[in-house]
Amino acid sequence: MRAIPAQLETSESGHSLMDPFGRAITYLRVSVTDRCDFRCVYCMSEDMAFLPKRDLLTLEELDRICSAFVAKGVRKLRITGGEPLVRRDIMTLFGSLSRHLDSGALDELTVTTNGSQLARHAKDLAACGVRRINVSLDTLDPDKFRAITRWGDLAKVMHGLDAAQGAGLKVKINAVALKGVNEDELEALLEWAHGRGMDLTLIEVMPLGEIDGQRIDQFLPLSMIRARLAARYTLQDLDDRTGGPARYVRVKETGGRLGFITPMTHNFCESCNRVRVTCTGQLFMCLGQEDAADLRAPVRASESNELLDRAIVDAIARKPKGHDFIIDRRHSRPALSRHMSVTGG
């Protein structure tokens, strides 16, 4: 990739944010809270300190930031967290953002959730124009589920999945592949997900944030899993790109789609089209780097969007080429101090 000066390009279809490597930024992930009702062992430590409420952006401020990105050519918005569906009045944000779907400025409004609150929110999400959602689920075994999430109840998530599919939402299951934990269950997970008409994406664990225990003990390279699955199933490569880093195959025997997100063994930074905003308004240009731009100060400094727009354009001009995660015995410290729940998955 060759670096070119970042710019705000104007095209016939509107504006687009272009980073120094010529990648158009069309996908924004927004974390609306750092809080979660689970404590997944690979994501958080059990005694997490959460941000004081006054530091969080209000729902109106989150809307303003999302809308500023949409005006600059972002076509896909993913609401995440923490657990986004535990934020009070979160449906107000989905409701207000849905105007960008109605106007045609946005192609997709979606959410990543642990599923615990879906039973009460699925219908409202669908009414706000959400069509597809990602639900994180690493195991189908209730005891293992409790052990991984520390606080979660599998039955509640299953109930949430029923509600989501009942409301017409297309569901993709995301599972983090964990050595010695769900390693032996991935075939079962695949058959279950595809049997219910849901795609499944497997994810490699990333060295984000201090956790109880060692990352290397959790890490399972997906290259190994793919080879194992290929011995049992016919995996047909697909060209499908959903604007994410997953590479997809069709599993001939089940007819379903299977994705692999491999930030550790093979990154796809060259096609990265996304940036992330945290619930305090920090804009991260890369999940795997420390550099961030503060959007909360410009939002709070003025009612017009001039300062905010400038801050966004300046930040995109600094988007790095990619991340350089390493997990091994010599690198026992996390690559980054912040947890996935801060930047949003």
Contacting positions for ligand SAM (CB under 6 A)? 36, 40, 42-43, 80-81, 83, 112-114, 136, 174, 176, 203, 205-206, 208, 340-341, 345
Gyration radius of the chain's alpha carbons: 19
SS3 120: helix
Q: Which is nearer to ligand SAM, 17 or 157 (CB)?
A: 157
Q: Which is nearer to ligand SAM, 80 or 110 (CB)?
A: 80
Helices 186-195 and 222-232, interaxial angle, to 10°? 60
Is residue 132 within 8 A of residue 110, CB to CB? The reply is yes
Beta carbon of residue 112, minimum distance to ligand SAM (angstroms, whole number): 4
Beta carbon of residue 247, minimum distance to ligand SAM (angstroms, whole number): 16
Q: Which is nearer to ligand SAM, 171 or 251 (CB)?
A: 171
Beta carbon of residue 295, minimum distance to ligand SAM (angstroms, whole number): 20
Fill in the amino acid letter for 326: I
Written as six digits, the tokens of 310 are: 């400038």
Q: 90: closest CA among 134, 30, 32, 50? A: 32
Beta carbon of residue 339, minimum distance to ligand SAM (angstroms, whole number): 7
Beta carbon of residue 264, minimum distance to ligand SAM (angstroms, whole number): 9
Beta carbon of residue 345, minimum distance to ligand SAM (angstroms, whole number): 2
Q: Which is nearer to ligand SAM, 19 or 83 (CB)?
A: 83
Q: Where are the alpha helices (DSSP H) in the chain?
A: 59-71, 90-103, 118-127, 142-149, 154-166, 186-195, 222-232, 296-301, 306-316, 340-343
Beta carbon of residue 102, minimum distance to ligand SAM (angstroms, whole number): 26
CA dist., res. 65 & res. 69, Å (int): 6
> If DSSP states are collapsed to H, E and C, what string results for 141-191?
CHHHHHHHHCCCCHHHHHHHHHHHHHCCCEEEEEEEEECCCCHHHHHHHHH
Q: Which is nearer to ligand SAM, 110 or 341 (CB)?
A: 341
Q: Which is nearer to ligand SAM, 78 or 296 (CB)?
A: 78
CA dist., res. 144 & res. 152, Å (int): 10
Select the residue whose beta carbon is closest to ligand SAM and give its number. 345
Q: Which is nearer to ligand SAM, 128 or 148 (CB)?
A: 148
